[in-house]
Amino acid sequence: MSVSSDERNGRLLVKYAASDDQLNVQYGCMALLRDAGGSAYGIAAAVHTAVERFCTRRVLHPGLNAGKPRRECNLPVQEHIRDRIEMFTADGAANEQLAARLLHPGSSRSNCQKLPSLSMILRDKAHATRRLTERTFQADPNLDRTMQAVVTGETSVARLLKNSRLFQCIFEQEVCKQVRSGSAAGMQGSVRDMSFAKQRFDSTAKPLGRCLLSLDAAISTMDIICRQRPTTSKEHRGGRDFLTLISEPRSLLLMGMLADASDECLVLTRFFDREAFRVEDMAEQLSAFRRQSRCLVAEKGCLGSGYTNLALSHLRRTKLVPVPGHSPVALGGQGAVSPETVTDCLGIMVAWSRLADEVAQTEFPEHELLACFRVFNLAPLDGPKRARPSATSIVPAPVPATQQDLNRLADAFKVDSTCLLNQFREHQRIAELEFARTPGLSVATAWRCALQQTQANSRRRRNFPAQSLKALLHRFMVTPGSTAGIEQNFSRLKRFLGEHWQGSEVAEERRLVLQLAQSALPAADNELLGKARLIWASTFGEPRRGQSGKLWRIAETQLQETVQTGAAWLRRRRQDSTAAATAMARVLDAALSPAAAATDQAVEASALAAWTERHEKEACFQRAAHAKRQCAAVQEGVLPMEALGPEATQQMANFQEQEQTRQRNLDSRQQALAKTRTPPQAPNIHGSRVLCTRRQWLS
C-alpha cells in the first residue's frame, strides 16, 4: 500500500493506492484534513489521523452527529493499514520530506509515531522536473536576465499581461494585426496573454514560446505601454527592460534556445504529471531528455528547427524596436547574426545542459529504489509468436544491470533473491508474449496476465512458483512516485468554487448555473434524441453526410497545412526535435554523458568561458545534496554501505552527526512553540481583592 499527500490553502489531502491478491489496484482518498499544521510533526501526525479517520464509522460534521450513536474506530483494521503502508510520496517541500523521515522506522528522528513497514520515501517527480529549469536558469546571468524580463520578474511581460485586462486587450489587437500583416511565425487564432501562471508546470515554456510566436505584437504592446505610462511606473520599467533586451540579436537568439530547452523539460514534466506514471519507463524518459538536450545545443540541432530557428527567422527580417529614452534600434537584417554570436549562445546553453545533468542526477538518482522497477519494462517482440515456455525450458539469464536491480529490490522487501531471479526469468517471457500479442496493452496488465496464466491451478502453481515475484509486483503496481493526482484534485476544486485564475466571474457563474441545471434535468434517452433529430430535419433539412473520398482528404490536408495554430506548430517542433536527436545519437542511452561524444571545439571553448562561479556553486550544491540523499538511503536500508565509496564510514558518521544536530534544533523549536502556546498559570488570588464584571461573576 502506498500513500501520497499534499497541502494547499490549509487543506491536506491524503490519497492511497492498494493492490489485492489478484494485482488489481484500487485508488482512493483516505482523508481531507483542514488546518493540519504546516510543520513536519503536524504533517506526520496528520497521516496517522487520516488512517484513523479512514477506519472510523460515522465521521461527519460535529453538528450532524448530535443524537446519533458515537463514532466507532475499527482498531484491527487501523493497525492492519498502518502495517501495510510501505511507500510515502510527497513533494520536495522541506516540511513534507522531514515528515516522511519522521515516519520511517529506520530513521534516527524521534518523538513521532512510526509506520512500521515504511521502506520507500519518494519525492514528487513532476515537481522535480521544474528544478531542471528553475535552478539552472538562475545560475547563468545571461539566461537569468532573459527570464526576468520575459517570465519571472515582477515587471516581466508575462506578469504585466496577466495582471491587467487593459494590456490584454491591447495585446490581442496587436496579435490580430500581426496575423493580417504576416510575420515569421504566421500563427492563426486569438491570443490574449502569455499564458503565465506561477503554479503551473508550463509556466516557463509557454510564455517564452508565445513571446517568440507573437514577437511583433509583444514589441508593439510594450511600446504602447511605455508611451501611456509614466517613466516612474513599474509598467514602464518592465516594458523598457523588455524592449532593451529584444533590441540585442544575441538576447533574442538566447530566448529561442531557452524556449527549446524549456519545452524539452516540459515534455519530461508531462510524463510525470499524472496520478500513476509508468515507472518502468522513467529511465528511458530521462535518457531521452539527456539525448534531446545534447542534440539541441552540442550538436547544434536547435538551429534547424524549433524556437531557435524561429528566432533566426525574425532576425533575417529588419525590425525597428522603439527603446524608451533612445532612438529606435534596427534589429535583424542581413549579417545581423554572426557565427561568433551563434557560437557564444551555443556555449552558454552547453554549460546549461551540463548543469542540468547535475540537477538530474540529484533529483533522479540511480540509488533510488524507484529506479529499480525498470526491470519490469517489456520490449515488444518482433517476428512470429513463439510457443509458450514450459517449466523445463531453458531460460536465458538476465543482464547484469537487471540482476543488480532485482537484488536490490529483494533486499529492500525481504525476498529471496535466488527464487526471485528464477521466477522473473520464467514470467518475463510470458509477459513479453502477452505484451506483443495484444496491441495497446500496458506493461502492468501484461505482468498481471502472465501471473494469472501461471497461477490458474495447482499444477501450474507447482510448475511456475511466483511467491517472490508476486511480492514485488504488488509494490510495482502501487508505486506512484507523484502527487500530481492531488494537485489536479485541488485545481478542480478551485474551478468548482469559481476561483479559476484564467476564467472571469461571468464565465464561472454561467458554467456553474448550466451545470446545476443539467444535473436537475433527467438523462436524455434514445427516444428524446430521435425526436430532436426529427425537429432538426423538419426545420433545417436532412443533415449532410461526411465525405470519405480521396479529394476530400486532400482538401482537408491542404487546409491543415495552410491554417497553422500554436498547438500544431508546437507538435511539429517536437517531432522535428525527436527526429534530429534520433539521427544524431552516437552512443547508447545507458552510456550517455556530457563527455560521451565530441563537441565542436569553438562551442566547447565558449562553454568553458560561460561556466562561471555561479555555475560551480550550484553544481557543488547539487553534489552535496546528492551525497546527503545517498547517506539517507543507506540509513533507510535501501542502499548498501559499499555504494558510498571508500569513505563510507566517515560520510555516514558525519551524516548522523548532522541529523542529530538537526533533531536537537527541531526539538528546541517545538518546545519553544509549545511554551508560547501554553496558557499562563492562574495566580494565587486567595485573600486578595478581585474586581470583575457581573457577566464574569455569573459565568
Long-range contacts of 98-103 (CB under 8 A, 24+ apart): 98/40, 98/666, 99/40, 99/41, 99/42, 99/43, 99/44, 99/47, 101/40, 101/632, 102/40, 102/41, 102/44, 103/44, 103/47
Angle (CA) 152-157-162 rounded to 5° is 90
Residue partners of 152: CB distance under 8 A and separation at least 6? none
Q: Which of 80-84, 572-576, 639-643 has the highest mean pLDDT?
A: 80-84
Residue 415 has pLDDT above 70, yes or no: yes
Q: What is d(CA 293, CA 349) in angstroms, rounded to the nearest whole number? A: 9
Stretch 284-296: mean pLDDT, rounded? 87
Residue 399 has pLDDT above 70, yes or no: no
* Residue showing cell 527549446: 260
Confidence of residue 523 (pLDDT cuts 50, 70, 90): low
pLDDT at residue 525, as a whole number: 67
Average pLDDT, the chain: 80
Residue type present at position 432? E
Stretch 63-87: mean pLDDT, rounded? 78
Stretch 183-202: mean pLDDT, rounded? 68
pLDDT at residue 397, as a whole number: 47
- The DSSP code sequence of 2-63 is EEEEEEETTEEEEEEEEE-TT--EEEEEEEEEES--SSHHHHHHHHHHHHHHHTEES---GG
Residue 3 has pLDDT above 80, yes or no: yes
Q: What dihedral do alpha carbons 129, 133, 135, 139 form, nearest 10°?
A: 160
* Residue showing cell 561524444: 597
Q: Report which of residues 508 and 158 the model is more confident about.
A: 158
For the chain, how far is it from start to end, CA to CA, in angstroms?
A: 51
* Integer-rounded Cα radius of gyration of the chain: 30
Q: What dihedral do alpha carbons 93, 99, 101, 103 form, nearest 10°?
A: -150
pLDDT tens-digit readout, 618-638: 999 999 998 888 888 888 878
- Angle between helix axes 566-584 and 249-272 (nearest 10 degrees) is 90
Angle (CA) 462-463-464 rounded to 5° is 95
Stretch 571-586: mean pLDDT, rounded? 75
Q: Report which of residues 584 and 24 the model is more confident about.
A: 24
Stretch 459-486: mean pLDDT, rounded? 86
Q: Give the closest residue to 348 by CA, choosing from 608, 617, 614, 151.
A: 608
Stretch 252-280: mean pLDDT, rounded? 89
Q: 55-59, 174-178, 430-434: lowest mean pLDDT where?
A: 55-59
Stretch 16-28: mean pLDDT, rounded? 87
Residue 562 has pLDDT above 50, yes or no: no
pLDDT at residue 295, as a whole number: 86
For 358, counting Cβ atoms within 10 Å of its Cβ (0-12 exposed, 13-18 middle, 19+ buried), the class is buried
177-188 burial, b at 16+ Cβ within 10 Å, e below that, comes to: ebbeeebbbebe
Q: What is d(CA 644, CA 629) in angstroms, rounded to the nearest whole number? A: 11
Residue partners of 656: CB distance under 8 A and separation at least 6? 108, 635
Long-range contacts of 564-571 (CB under 8 A, 24+ apart): 564/186, 564/187, 564/188, 565/187, 565/188, 565/189, 566/187, 566/189, 566/191, 566/209, 566/210, 566/213, 569/185, 569/187, 569/213, 570/209, 570/263
Q: Give the closest residue to 129 by CA, choosing from 420, 305, 320, 363.
A: 363
At 286, is the secondary structure helix, strand, or coil?
helix
Stretch 514-524: mean pLDDT, rounded? 65
CA 419 to chain CA mean position, Å: 36
Q: What is d(CA 240, CA 157) in angstroms, rounded to the nearest whole number? A: 10
Residue 240 has pLDDT above 90, yes or no: yes
pLDDT at residue 10, as a whole number: 83
Q: What is d(CA 404, CA 395) in angstroms, rounded to the nearest whole number? A: 18
Q: 134-138, 331-335, 372-376, 509-513: lowest mean pLDDT where?
A: 509-513
pLDDT tens-digit readout, 126-156: 888 888 988 899 999 999 999 999 998 889 9
- Angle between helix axes 339-363 and 601-610 (nearest 10 degrees) is 60
435 grid coordinates: 505484451
Share of the chain above pLDDT 70, in %: 79
pLDDT at residue 6, as a whole number: 87
Residue 500 has pLDDT above 80, yes or no: no
pLDDT at residue 348, as a whole number: 93
Q: What is d(CA 676, CA 695) in angstroms, rounded to the nearest whole number? A: 29
Stretch 455-480: mean pLDDT, rounded? 88
Q: What is d(CA 584, CA 581) in angstroms, rounded to the nearest whole number? A: 5
Confidence of residue 69 (pLDDT cuts 50, 70, 90): low
Confidence of residue 62 (pLDDT cuts 50, 70, 90): low
Q: Report which of residues 442 and 564 the model is more confident about.
A: 442
pLDDT at residue 187, as a whole number: 59
Q: What is d(CA 137, CA 348) in angstroms, rounded to the nearest whole number? A: 11
pLDDT at residue 143, as a whole number: 92
Confidence of residue 695 (pLDDT cuts 50, 70, 90): low
Stretch 29-33: mean pLDDT, rounded? 87
pLDDT at residue 123, as a whole number: 86
